[in-house]
Amino acid sequence: MFHKVAKESIYQEWLKCAADLQPQYDYFNFADLVMKSKRTTSTLYVTTLNKALLTSFKKAKPSITDAIALFNKRSNQNSLFYTEYNEYWARRDEDEREESGRRIEKRIYSTLEDVAENVFSSITQASKCRRKQQRWQQQQRKQQRRQRQQQVTLAHDTMHINKRIGYCLVEFSGGIKKNCSEKKAGRDEEKIETGVVKFMDFTNADKGHFIRFHDMKLYFELVIKLEDRLIRRAHATIKLPTTPAEMKDFFNQTQLLFSWKKSLIDSISL
């Protein structure tokens, strides 16, 4: 409502000075004021002048009538107004196309700048993540070496006391990301199986427990000796959760983890 009243006020203000224009009530001056489409401008112009005929003084009405009559010649190809009318709107259309082109070009440049900034930011973030990942891998390798040393030390310290001990080996098999391959994981599995069997022979144990990490999954497994056979059993396969759904699956498998833990504790003989 307010917008409509404001527009009406603009047209009324134009009418106050339109009689002083050359020519009076000039259509092109009105078109430059409203800056609408050809059809909308023509409708507003005729409507405004018709309203003015009803409210203006008698001496002003002939000028308004002449302006309406001149405007009606826009379809008469033999009139000068026809030529001026079409030239005006051809120029307006060209100006609007150029302005539209400039706006599109500006948006394209802005989009390209955003894309370039996002790419640079992604590269920077990826570089940071890679450095962080490399540091994590180094820490994991150091931790693995410490764990192996501790396991060897534990076996050496207890061999004269009790050859039956509880233990658990941990293997980060197959690497991560690009280094994560089935071939490498297979070699790592063979390596940890060999280690578990050696510990079982050394401690005269019936079970050997181990945890294997591969492709963002934790495998809680054990090797069982039955007579002259060795049986490998997987208690649980846990995917490291990164989403709510994966977190739910993780908690649903906690009972399997407790079962694997109990089996490990039961294998300890004091």
pLDDT of 16 reads: 82
CB 221 within 8 A of CB 233: yes
User: Residue 88 pLDDT > 80, yes or no?
Assistant: yes
Distance CA(197)–CA(189), nearest Å, equals: 12
- Over 50: is that where the pLDDT of 1 sits? no
Res. 212: pLDDT tops 70: yes
State the burial class of residue 49 (Cβ atoms within 10 Å of its Cβ: 0-12, 13-18, 19+). Answer: buried
Q: Which residue has the tokens 């920077």?
A: 124
Note whether 236 and 220 are within 8 A (CB): yes
Tell whether the model's pLDDT for residue 78 goes beyond 80.
Answer: yes
Boundaries of every domain in the chain? 2-75, 163-270
Give the model's pLDDT for residue 163: 47
| pLDDT for 90 beyond 90 | yes
**Residue 221: DSSP 8-state:** E
